[in-house]
Amino acid sequence: MKKVVKPYGEETQSKKEEVATMFNNISGRYDFLNHFLSLGIDKLWRRRAVKQLKKLKPQKILDIATGTGDFALALLKLKPNQIIGVDISQGMLSVGTKKMKKKKVDDIIKLTLGDSENLPFEDNSFDAITVAFGVRNFENLQKGLKEMKRVLKPNGKVVILEFSKPKYFPIKQLFSFYSGCIIPFFGKLISKDKRAYSYLPESVEQFPEGKEFHLQMNTAGYEDISSIRLSGGISTIYMGHKKV
């Protein structure tokens, strides 16, 4: 059994509490660091993930672990009637809410405080559910996946974008050096949080990627599960459906 990786490793706090604290701490610098440390590739990954919902034409979308709402903004390309973003960090949501108002899309995108493992929505509420770089932060992965399926409408689709580990030379070696040395160094320097960007490679290392995650989705009750590896395996898009 893999150990539970937490941002700060405090015995008195749950992973969920520590993740919320971490994102509150770095919320003011998060957008800049996210794009800077990914060299902008994260924007391309989000666009690719959004394309996986194009045929479905979802009208009501739930974006879990929405953070400052970058994925929610990318989802506007699908022309939905409503996007609800949920996150456990009020700091991230505050930044995101200002962003939505500035872009004048706050009538379509609503950001709200919420727990992915206890979603405040009725069964069968959403046509599609998305998560970008958030499932590895779930305290109970199965509970989170099942909650997502519960609020997903029959014939609905979930699209999950998450970091993974490249398997082949030279991307494997380059990514290992970049995530293990470069990201923690600049993350600590800019965010002023000593642990936040060291937690990133540690959480990626422990995440059950690929076929293991397919199994997790299958256990949670999803069907027609598939995945697409991006940028040599640095990230992966996972997809699953809720059947009638």
Residue 134 sits in a domain of what CATH number?
A: 3.40.50.150
- Is the residue at 29 inside a domain? yes
Spatial contact of 79 and 58, defined as CB atoms under 8 Å apart:
no
What is the band of 201 on the pLDDT scale with cuts at 50, 70, 90? confident
- Is the residue at 192 inside a domain? yes
Alpha helices by DSSP H, listed for the chain, are 15-37, 41-51, 70-74, 90-102, 141-151, 171-177, 183-191, 196-206, 211-219
Eight-state DSSP code of residue 59: S
Domain span holding position 87: 15-241
Q: Which of 9-13, 35-39, 82-86 has the lowest mean pLDDT?
A: 35-39
* 21-75 tens-digit pLDDT: 999 999 999 988 887 778 789 999 999 999 999 999 999 999 999 999 999 999 9
- Is the residue at 47 inside a domain? yes
> What b/e sequence results for 122-156 when a residue is b if at least 16 CB atoms lie within 10 Å of its CB, and e otherwise?
eeebbbbbbbbbbbbbbbebeebbebbbbbbbeeb
- Is the residue at 3 inside a domain? no
Q: Which of 35-44, 216-225, 232-241 has the lowest mean pLDDT?
A: 35-44
Average pLDDT over residues 138-146: 97
Whole-angstrom CA distances from 36 to 7, 29, 111, 161 are 21, 11, 24, 19
- Is the residue at 10 inside a domain? no
Alpha-carbon distance of 59 to 127, in angstroms, equals 7
- Is the residue at 52 inside a domain? yes
Q: Residue 1: pLDDT above 50?
A: no
Tally of domains within the chain = 1
For the entire predicted model, the pTM comes to: 0.94
- Is the residue at 217 inside a domain? yes
